[in-house]
Amino acid sequence: MKENKNNEVVKYILENYDIKNANDIADALKDMFKDTIQTMMNAEFDSSMGYEKSDNKVEKTNYRNGYSTKNVKSKFGEFELSVPRDRNAEFEPQIVPKNKRDITGIEEKVINLYGKGLSTREISDSIEDIYGVQLSATMISNITDVVIINSFIKYCSLKLLTLLFTFF
Q: What is the mean pLDDT of residues 141-149?
A: 56
pLDDT over 80 (residue 158): no
What residue spans define the domains of the chain?
3-51+63-167
pLDDT tens profile 57-76: 888 888 999 999 999 988 77
Burial tier of 25 (Cβ tally within 10 Å: 0-12, 13-18, 19+): buried
Asked if residues 123 and 144 have their Cβ atoms less than 8 Å apart, the reply is yes
Q: Please count the other Cβ atoms lying within 10 Å of the Cβ belonging to residue 2.
A: 8
Residue 163 has pLDDT above 70, yes or no: no
- pLDDT, tens digit, 9 for 90 and up, residues 72-93: 988 778 899 999 999 999 998 8
pLDDT of residue 76: 76
Q: Please write the tens of the pLDDT for every residue from 4-45.
A: 555 666 677 778 888 888 788 778 777 877 887 888 888 889
